[in-house]
Copies of this chain bind each other. A is one copy, B any other.
Amino acid sequence: MINVVKIGGNVIDNPEALEKFLREFASLEGDKILVHGGGKEATRMSESMGVPTTMIEGRRVTDRATLNIVTMVYAGLINKRIVALLQKFGCDAVGLTGADGNVIPAVRRPAKPVDYGFVGDIDPDKVSDKFIATLLNGGYVPVFCAICHDGDGSLLNCNADSVAAAVALGASRVAPTRLTYCFEKAGVMTDLDDETSVIPLVTRESFARLKEEGIVAKGMLPKLQNALDSAAKGVTEVRICKSDALCGSVGTIIKEK
């Protein structure tokens, strides 16, 4: 089983949480891949350089100056900081973007209806399982940030959840793969204030019911839909759990059936 694990800004922005998480990740047995988001450092960097940050519907508008900043912060600072820490914990990490080994080709998003600039969308079917297999077979642990490229010389800023899903799908063509999204909550919960209300299993069938009955919070619906799509395409299971409990609590498992 290949474990693909995705962490977001809540872990990356907290040095102690990041170190604790990476220790746990390093201890996972077998083949594994890490995908990380960005956190607040790119915004701070933009501020210190006098580059304005524009967000539309929660997404960063990426002009040329912003593309340079996210490339520096995600692919440089954060990615290599994670690699150095994983190496310290005995995990032979290799930090990558989707441009490296042409592993995650992307397409620049059309300028209409909204021009997000250098933002890319990924076709998961085009992920290079050959590159993933080369590294895993060599005993290495790929660590991806969410910078990809268009194959024509331009880097593109992509969504880290989508990168994780694409990498997991590529990995699933190498060996059975589990995709874990680590986030702030203990899993998919029926009551956001009660950690014991975690739903242990969501299938396509039960998802329809959860949606219909309005049991699951709106923000969770696209996450679950994407997880089910990954499962439908070949990822053995998708798991949503708390980032400080990677090896502990199970959280919510999402499967086709």
Contacts and interface: CB of A to CB of B under 8 A. Distances in A.
A252 interface: no
B155 A81 contact: yes
A71 interface: yes
Contacts of A100: 83, 93-95
A114 interface: no
A57 interface: no
B131 A80 contact: no
Given A48-B49, A76-B79, A93-B101, 19 more contacts: A48-B50, A68-B77, A71-B81, A72-B72, A72-B73, A74-B76, A76-B76, A80-B147, A80-B155, A81-B155, A83-B97, A87-B102, A88-B152, A94-B100, A95-B96, A95-B100, A101-B138, A131-B138, A134-B140
Interface of A: 48-50, 68, 71-77, 79-81, 83-85, 87-88, 92-97, 99-102, 130-131, 134-135, 138, 140, 147, 149, 151-155
A76 B67 CA distance: 11
Nearest to A76: B76
A238 B93 CA distance: 31
A97 B74 CA distance: 14
Contacts of A48: 49-50
Number of copies: 2
Question: Chain A binding site: helix, strand, loop or mixed by DSSP?
Answer: helix
A88 to B, nearest CB: 4
A82 to B, nearest CB: 10
A84 B49 contact: no
A156 to B, nearest CB: 9
Which of A74, A135, A154 is most buried by chain B, counting CB atoms within 10 A of its CB?
A: A135
A99 B84 contact: yes
A96 B149 CA distance: 16
13 contacts: A68-B77, A72-B77, A75-B75, A76-B79, A80-B97, A83-B97, A84-B153, A87-B149, A93-B101, A94-B101, A95-B99, A131-B138, A134-B140
A167 to B, nearest CB: 15
A19 to B, nearest CB: 8
Contact of A151 (B76, B87, B101): B87
A248 to B, nearest CB: 24
B75 A80 contact: yes
A35 to B, nearest CB: 16
